Amino acid sequence: MPPASDGSSHWNKEGYIVKALDQTTVVFTSRSANEGFARAVAACFATQLDPTLDEIADIKTAVSEAVTNAIVHAYPNTLGKITMRMRLLEDLQLEIQIKDGGVGIPDVEQARTPLFTTGNEERSGMGFTIMESFMDTVKVRSTVGKGTTVTMRRRIARRVGGGQ
């Protein structure tokens, strides 16, 4: 049976259907003030899994990096749209997808290299490295001229009496 077409389920790498238990999407403009908004929304959504404060801090940091990349690099000198989709998956997993319709990344592997940046000297080039250190998986898809999608997953530790 194929996964639902509404995006609520998908095939995992083992060939099983993974169902989204809850999901929400927010769309906002690429203003720097919205980085804090995205962090707060992701943290609030994640609380359904009863994470620790450290887990929340990790998620907020990863979201901050992904959204900042979209604000700074996807839409240079202009405003654009950023879409953040969050899903609670089976087995206490949180999936957060940050998507922009900006300029795209010509070489994703190079962009994921620590200290590589296309920005000015203010930028550290550590955004993807930071995302990878705080999340279990980070996938990046990009098409030049069409935009970039960063999909991050984090499993929340199961605690007695908490979570699902």
Q: Please say if 69 is a catalytic residue.
A: yes
DSSP label at residue 3: P
Compute the distance between CA of residue 142 and CA of residue 70 in angstroms, rounded to an integer: 12
Q: Please say if 123 is a catalytic residue.
A: yes
Out of 123, 141, 153, 155, which one is annotated catalytic?
A: 123
Helix (H, G, I), strand (E, B) or coil at 61: helix
Out of 34, 65, 85, 87, which one is annotated catalytic?
A: 65
Q: Contact at 8 Å (CB) between 138 and 60?
A: no
User: How far from 28 is each of 5, 53, 150, CA to CA, in Å?
Assistant: 24, 26, 16
Q: Contact at 8 Å (CB) between 39 and 60?
A: yes
Compute the distance between CA of residue 70 and CA of residue 82 in angstroms, rounded to an integer: 7
Out of 69, 85, 95, 154, which one is annotated catalytic?
A: 69
Q: Please say if 112 is a catalytic residue.
A: no
Catalytic residue ranges = 65, 69, 123
